[in-house]
Amino acid sequence: MAARRTLGFAVRNYSQAAAKGWLTEDFLDSLREVVGSSNVSTATPVCEQHGHDESMHRCRPPDAVVWPQNVEQVSLLAKACYSRGAPIIPFGTGTGLEGGVSAVKGGVCFNLTQMDQISELNAEDFTVAVEPGVTRKALNSYLRGSGLWFPVDPGADASLCGMAATSASGTNAVRYGTMRQNVLNLQVVLPDGRVLHTAGKSRRPRKSAAGYHLTGLFVGSEGTLGLITQAILRLHGTPEATVAAVCAFPSVQAAVDSTVQVLQTGIPIARIEFLDDVMVAACNRHSGLSYAELPTLFLEFHGTENSVEEQVQATGEIVQSNGGSDFVWAREQEARSQLWAARHNAWYAALALRPGRKGYSTDVCVPISRLPAILLETKKDLLESKLTGPIVGHVGDGNFHCLLIFDPEDAEESRRVAEFSQRLVRRALAMDGTCTGEHGIGLGKRQFLREEVDEVALSTMQQIKVALDPKNLMNPGKVL
Amino acid sequence: MAARRTLGFAVRNYSQAAAKGWLTEDFLDSLREVVGSSNVSTATPVCEQHGHDESMHRCRPPDAVVWPQNVEQVSLLAKACYSRGAPIIPFGTGTGLEGGVSAVKGGVCFNLTQMDQISELNAEDFTVAVEPGVTRKALNSYLRGSGLWFPVDPGADASLCGMAATSASGTNAVRYGTMRQNVLNLQVVLPDGRVLHTAGKSRRPRKSAAGYHLTGLFVGSEGTLGLITQAILRLHGTPEATVAAVCAFPSVQAAVDSTVQVLQTGIPIARIEFLDDVMVAACNRHSGLSYAELPTLFLEFHGTENSVEEQVQATGEIVQSNGGSDFVWAREQEARSQLWAARHNAWYAALALRPGRKGYSTDVCVPISRLPAILLETKKDLLESKLTGPIVGHVGDGNFHCLLIFDPEDAEESRRVAEFSQRLVRRALAMDGTCTGEHGIGLGKRQFLREEVDEVALSTMQQIKVALDPKNLMNPGKVL
């Protein structure tokens, strides 16, 4: 009953926010007082820049953008918003794919990129603290020479705190885990401006059983519970040896069967990425390569020299037994970089297949045993739906993306894309999978979340949201 | 405001519960209707059996014990308790160490051990579903011959759902993670009887970014948010080769320095357990062994034959450079079992040091770089406090236990134990650590939780508790 009453309050507040009674010169002055006039903008182009991410979701600009310099300023700005009822939208690099920064109710966008300190590097404990302005590439540059690195790699050079907010993962997750496994502690500014340390201030033991796991709750909360202003991350030792390879297969089934067998054999593979024939062709064209245009695996092995050789040999036997080609090797750093650049440019390579069109990426994830079936059905569906949708995937985790390239002005094609996406998600759900392995729910998958979890789970999430953000000011309209 | 009002309601209800207005024959009949008369008991010896775990916390018996046979019965029983305002205490194997099953407000103890189905074993995906009556040994027996195993091993043959509830870990966590990393999905009966699937019914992808991470919230919630009635677990491949070894060191510093270096070198060690001289002596006496009575590491290596050899060699070099003895090997299953039985019997070996006395185990965890300092200070403190407290620890995770053996009837000695424990926790907290690596907060560490996390984190946990258990019926008095 309490929850319902609070929810009612939230709904009322929601409509106030839409009415924007809070948007006064006086309110803007209170923001300027905190960060200085030059760090508050209401200019249309600036707001529009902050109203969208890399996805197709329509730009919904905030009413103002602020650039806080430190956690104290974030706290004061949040307090100002809270007291007036202004929505708060956290903004990192804007590289999200589900419309997470879209200001659907207007509000104040907190651009956190100027908070870019890296601190508390502790090489002995493999931990470091980063602010939201630190991207994964910036951190790895900082770590160069230390023998340490941060492996979670979604492709984009995203903010690490943003990656925590969306529970990002990517190519290395099969070996090193997602952000969930690599965040030890978060500093979070709650909507009312209070500063929370999810695991106690600056604490960083490898494990803890002390109280509710707030760190795990905020990882993947997509800015709807608070603003992440610092993350203490778990680092990993740079592997002594790294070898990458490319291998083509006669069929999708053969490539995916190989993946499943590699995992089942317990080979600690660092990366195992699938590209279908269409995707390889697109990469060849876009990156000037000449890989066989067949279902393909990009692989990477990490370890000691001996262990890498052993992994390569065991994987080679599996691949061969499935009719895979000989490996094309990339043993040197430069060759490896070229290989992974091709993989990471898959999105742009896909877009280049139909210049002038837009892209939409699906993101389902299934238990790995179901991968062959879902990939084959999906390829068939793409053909039947007459859609351009090269497939690329972190198949070691059971996660893959169809990069659908289409003309959003073409209503008929857009409908086919929407229907295909829906069928794909339902196919994944029927196989005990999820509608999103790593992009999050954001704006675009709220309906799918309702199909994925039951009413009790949804209402539990809603109760948590209401408890922690009773005025529904934190990134409203997302996730739930 | 809503939260405060609800809290007020909870407080009122609390005192009702203490008054036990709910405890009527009519209420007991409603329980009997669900599970049958033979599965409800109010007999004093039965209730007393269920009023304590393996810790020193005073027995606080529930008013009734029920034995549900399936989730539908758990749901109906919870509904009955909810409508009358009766506290609900989940009970697995009773092997907890922080008084988690103590019925401080009375109530109904749900003994879940008769729900002991293992289902949905999927060898290709490395997943299985277990009910609360399934212990880790039962699961591993079931898996024998499948090439799979479940590695989390707290020593006791605990219920796997209970291990999820307390975020258990133990000797293998350094390599395979704690329960947090090995639970994919939970079925939970909420206090009002609704059935929640934290990640959607029967879903088991390796990763997901769909909505708030309810699985992570319920792991470690210690029965205060709901009753875990099924867990979908992540299994691991049985290693091709396993080798265990024992190594003695001239000093605590040398043993712990070796541990830190093994981890920093990136050796994927499966177990690395520290025993101080007192602990080794106790184990020798209790298990009829003859290890050198010096600071000692018990180690285990998993992998392919080659990789294990490589790990052993690299570890050997580190150990030697720190003045460690030659390894005493345990290559065969039987020898390894004997070695780990000695380690797992440490608790009883410690108790045998002073027959008739009781044991209390501390549980701090610090970043590994701080281990040498905290262990040395703690050894010194033990001496100065004139306490018997052999030390054993999962040092690869920075987690160790002083097994304090004392006479609880001796007020002066009990005071020294309490003061020592307090100093130890504060020492760990001052080193960015936690008061509990794996035993949980339960009854005994609530004050320490207040020192470990700040007011904002505590109130956030409290808000979540109130939102999910507004009547404060789930295992009241624990954690918060």
What pLDDT, on a 0 to 100 scale, did the predictor assign at position B9? 31
Q: Which residues of A touch B434 (CB under 8 A)?
A: 199-200, 203, 205, 208-210
A411 Cβ under 8 Å from any chain B Cβ:
no
A400-430: per-residue pLDDT in tens? 999 999 999 999 999 999 999 999 999 999 9
C-alpha closest to that of B240 among B323, B309, B172, B181? B309
Q: Is B210 on the interface with A (CB under 8 A)?
A: yes
What average pLDDT does range A159-164 have in this prediction?
Answer: 98
Of A122, A366, A369, the CB nearest to B369: A122
Judging by beta carbons within 10 Å of its beta carbon (0-12, 13-18, 19+), is residue A416 exposed, middle or buried?
middle
DSSP character string of A192-204: TS-EEETTSTT--
Six token digits for residue B259: 């541990």
Q: Which pLDDT score, from 0 to 100, does residue B338 have?
A: 87
- Closest among A167, A98, A161, A171 to A345, alpha carbons compared: A171
Q: Using 50, 70 and 90 to split pLDDT, how confident is the model at A320?
A: very high
The alpha-helical segments, DSSP class H, found in A108-251 are 136-143, 160-166, 173-176, 179-182, 214-218
Q: Are A236 and A126 in contact (CB under 8 A)?
A: yes
Model confidence over B40-80: pLDDT tens digits? Answer: 999 999 999 999 998 888 899 999 999 999 999 999 999 99
Of A126, A181, A207, which to mutate for an interface test with B (greatest number of B Cβ within 10 Å)? A207
Nearest CA in chain A to B126: A264
Residue A368 near residue A432, CB atoms below 8 Å: no
**pLDDT value at position A265?**
87
A145 Cβ neighbours under 8 A, 6+ residues apart: none
| Contact residues on chain A for B209, CB-CB shorter than 8 A | 166-169, 220, 363, 434, 436-441
Dist. CA B364–CA B451, nearest whole Å: 13
Confidence of residue B149 (pLDDT cuts 50, 70, 90): very high
pLDDT at B2 over 70: no
State the smallest CA–CA distance between residue A178 and chain B in angstroms: 8
Q: How confident is the model at residue B18 (pLDDT cuts 50, 70, 90)?
A: low
Given pLDDT bands bounded at 50, 70 and 90, which one contains residue A331?
Answer: confident
pLDDT-derived band at A18 (thresholds 50, 70, 90) equals low
Q: Note whether B463 contacts A: Cβ–Cβ < 8 A.
A: yes
Instruction: Residue window 326-365, chain B: list those with CB within 8 Å of chain A.
Output: 363, 365
Average pLDDT over residues B299-312: 94
Task: Provide the chain A residues 3-42 that lie in CB contact (below 8 A) with chain B.
Answer: 3, 5-6, 9
A202 contacts B432? CB cut-off 8 A: yes
- Find the length of chain A: 480
Nearest CA in chain B to A307: B307
What is the rounded distance in angstroms from the CA atom of residue B180 to the CA atom of residue A181? 9
Rounded mean pLDDT, A231-254 = 95
Which pLDDT value is given to residue B7?
27
pLDDT of residue B265: 87
* A209 contacts B436? CB cut-off 8 A: yes
Q: Which residues of A touch B470 (CB under 8 A)?
A: 2-3
Which token pair is B159?
């219920």
What is the distance between the alpha carbons of residues B205 and A397, in angstroms, rounded to a whole number? 8
Do the Cβ atoms of B3 and A470 come within 8 Å? yes
B:271-310 residues touching chain A, CB 8 A cutoff: 304, 306-307, 310
Q: Is A401's Cβ below 8 Å from some Cβ in B?
A: no
Calculate how close chain A gets to B285, using CA atoms only, in Å. Answer: 32
- Give the closest residue to B366 by CA, choosing from B411, B430, B322, B312: B430
Q: What is the pLDDT of residue A5?
A: 30
Higher pLDDT: B337 or B320? It is B320
* Position B329 confidence tier, pLDDT thresholds 50, 70, 90: confident
What's the pLDDT score for residue B4?
30
CB A100 within 8 A of CB A442: yes
How far is it, in rounded angstroms, from Cα A478 to Cα A480?
Answer: 6
A371 touches chain B (CB under 8 A): no
Subunit contact B210:A306, Cβ cutoff 8 A: no
Is the CB of residue B119 less than 8 Å from the CB of residue B57? no
A96-150: pLDDT as tens digits? 999 999 999 999 999 999 999 999 999 999 999 999 999 999 999 999 999 999 9
- Convert the pLDDT of each residue in A277-286 to its tens digit: 999 999 999 9
Question: What is the band of B357 on the pLDDT scale with cuts at 50, 70, 90?
Answer: very high
Q: List the domains of chain A with CATH numbers.
A: 22-113 (3.30.43.10), 118-237 (3.30.465.10), 241-430 (3.40.462.10)
pLDDT of residue A48: 96
Give the three-class secondary structure for A297: strand
Compute the average pLDDT of residues A195-209.
Answer: 97
Indicate the average pLDDT of chain A: 93
Mean pLDDT, residues A371-399: 96
Closest approach of chain B CAs to the CA of A460, in angstroms?
7
